[in-house]
Amino acid sequence: MSPDRVRLRVLAVDDVRPALDDLCRLLAAAPEVGEVVAAADPLSALRSIQGDRFDAVFLDISMPGLDGIELASLLAKLSEPPVIVFVTAHEGHAVTAYGLGAVDYLLKPVRAERLATALGKVARMAASADAPAGARLPDTMAVLTVESAGRTRYVRRSDVRFVEANGDYVRLHTPSGVHLVRMPISRLEEYWSGTGFSRVHRGYLVALDAIRELRSDSVGGLLAHTDVGDVPVSRRHARELREQLLRAAQRGELDGEARRQPG
């Protein structure tokens, strides 16, 4: 973050006082954050938001009276809604959370590195909202966080060859292996649209510059071949994919050997 940029104003909401204090402490220590306001219940949070402006709300889900999902639904109706990050002990609400437009979903206890990732997303969203029309905006979700067996790994978008839907998750196929991230593929498509990824099937996104050639399978279907595997291309997406590859080749954006297209 540039030194002349105004830092984020953040509202933290949790009805459990120790958890709220811990979250406020972590937020206050982050270089992206300029001010943290605490709310110990959803109604207090609503009063704070009605009387002030916040860049982001870090919001617990399980709260009495009005839960975090319901509060986020109300906030989404504001003319200038704050960015929402859910902070919860339960994984089961992630799909609903992302469906409401949340930019991240943190599991308690929150680790500083995961909080930093979430704040990076918030800062990019805030910059996008503040930027004048036509300005070049910061990249969105160029790195995804993968949580596995108590370890945090970071997968760069540039390393992902294709994305496969897997229920409420996506599988990121990279040369280093397959990484599972809890996010619907439709949500990831929104973030990565315009970054060189194309939806080629209801269950797949593929990086255009990762496609080595287009192949026919044994039953006449189309496959996009990459160095980590083949991606099925549905009939409704086949023509659009060929046109995208042609345009990219004409602009010189496809590296490596020429793509060969069957038919």
Q: How would you class 23 by CB atoms within 10 Å of its CB: exposed for 0-12, middle for 13-18, buried for 19 or more?
A: buried
Which of the pair, 91 or 104, is modelled with greater confidence?
104
pLDDT at position 219: 86
Digit-coded pLDDT (tens) for 123-173: 888 776 665 544 444 455 677 878 777 777 788 899 999 999 998 889 999
Backbone dihedral angles phi then psi of residue 93, each to the nearest 5 degrees: -100, 10
Query: Residue 15: in which H helix or E strand, if any?
Result: none
Q: How would you class 45 by CB atoms within 10 Å of its CB: exposed for 0-12, middle for 13-18, buried for 19 or more?
A: buried
Residue type, 260: R
Digit-coded pLDDT (tens) for 200-243: 999 999 999 999 999 998 888 899 999 999 999 999 999 999 98
∠ CA 105-190-198, rounded to 5°: 130
DSSP secondary structure letter of residue 171: E
pLDDT at position 128: 67
pLDDT at position 224: 95
**Percentage of residues of the chain with pLDDT beyond 70:** 87
* Per-residue pLDDT band at 199 (split at 50, 70, 90): very high
pLDDT at position 201: 95
Instruction: Give the chain's length.
Output: 263
Digit-coded pLDDT (tens) for 98-124: 777 888 899 999 988 899 889 988 988
Q: Is the whole-model pTM more than 0.75? A: no
Lowest mean pLDDT, pick from 29-33, 103-107, 188-192: 188-192
DSSP secondary structure letter of residue 244: H
Sign of CA dihedral 27, 33, 34, 37: negative
pLDDT at position 210: 95
Query: Residue 114: in which H helix or E strand, if any?
Result: helix 112-130
pLDDT beyond 90 at 38: yes
Contacts of 99 (CB under 8 A, 6+ apart): 184, 187
Token pair 């979250």 is found at 23
How confident is the prediction for the chain on average, in pLDDT? 84
pLDDT at position 259: 41
